[in-house]
Amino acid sequence: MASQLFSPITLAGIELRNRIIVAPMCQYSADEGAATDWHLMHLGQYAVSGVGLIITEAVGVDMAGRISPGCLSLCTDAQEASLKRVVDFCQTFGNTTMGIQLSHAGRKGSTDLPWLGGKPIPASDPRGWATEAPSATPYAPVGWETPAALDEAGLARIKAAFVDAAVRADRIGFEVAELHAAHGYLLHQFLSPLSNLRTDAYGGSLEKRMRFPLEVFDAVAAVWPKHKALGVRFSATDWVARSSWDIAESTQFAAALKARGCDFIDVSSAGNSPEQTIEVGPGYQTGFAAEIRRQTQMPTMAVGQITEPHQAEAVIRSGQADMVALARGMLNNPRWAWHAAEALNAEAAYAPQYMRSNKALRGLPIPGNPPVAVKT
């Protein structure tokens, strides 16, 4: 049977050549929010390797929305130009669709690079900044500064920052945009009762906790071209027993997004509390994606320890998700799609410069260097 993993899928007016997605992976290598040669190399290697879609690392919609001082941002002309350089390269030499993840870290911002310890950087440090959140509650009681609770003016400012970043992303040439509402960052902080302790119109009931993330989605959708795809990544559960943010509430959130014209959802989990207890294993989050897809019929992306071609094929073929996103697997093997195509007897796109690595062409003479006949 023909591989389902290598079949095309259309999101809004954008057709992906296959259902293999390079998931967002923070690289902590930006310069004052601007993309560098590292990003050119990092994303460029995937652009020539036959995947269906690349989604950038989390891009802060303003400088305070970054996770770390080394994270990308998209709020200045210089940052826009630096990221356009990367996307232009990928589109000129590559064979895939380019997507961007727009994010605000909220109370989990101002943290150090992982290889420097990853701990919170105080606002008093020249490398750090003051954080904001739905409520004045730190991520953890020890080591984290208390964020400022966002007032109406702050909510309007951040919503405008998402809109501005989306306009810039469209100008750059991205064809897919994903809003980051997972892993304990700002929009997730509003969704979860662990981090949203508000008593106004943006906190309390599920409907009120969803209000700001949905307002951000609506604002971005109003400026994002209709033929381009707009989706949302969210955590399906906090993995905390005392939290109501679980598969039931996240399914309702997905349904609300669908009603607003969301083109796809990207289902992850956790990240909002140090209390989380996660049952980790191969494909450990695909069950969440499958349940949300079953309930909403939305195009769904699964992520989380999907590493083997036949495993990825089974996720698609069994209807658990419409797409699979790989992160660590891609870091380990940027040519994952090529090898998966061989394993599944399918075809993947190759850059012409690399065509001789294709199974069908291996062993053929090198042009300009024909084999020499051996005299017998």
CA–CA gap between residue 304 and residue 242 (Å, rounded): 24
CA distance 334 to 34: 24
C-alpha distances out from residue 343 to 4, 209, 223, 308, 311, Å? 13, 45, 41, 10, 11
CA distance 262 to 160: 19
- What is the C-alpha to C-alpha distance for residues 44 and 32, in angstroms, rounded to an integer? 21
Contacting residues for 7 by C-beta, under 8 A, at least 6 apart: 18, 19
SS3 of 57, please?
Answer: strand
Residues in the chain: 376
| Cβ atoms of residues 46 and 95 within 8 Å | no
CA separation, residue 46 to residues 185, 189, 232 (Å): 26, 31, 22
Q: What totals of helices (H) and strands (E) does the chain contain, helices first?
A: 10, 12
Helices (H), 2-76: 37-47
DSSP 3-state of 104: coil
Backbone angles phi, psi at 274, to 5 degrees: -70, -10
185 has catalytic annotation: yes
Q: Which of 46, 139, 185, 202 is catalytic?
A: 185
Give the tokens for residue 126. 């020249």
Catalytic residue set: 185
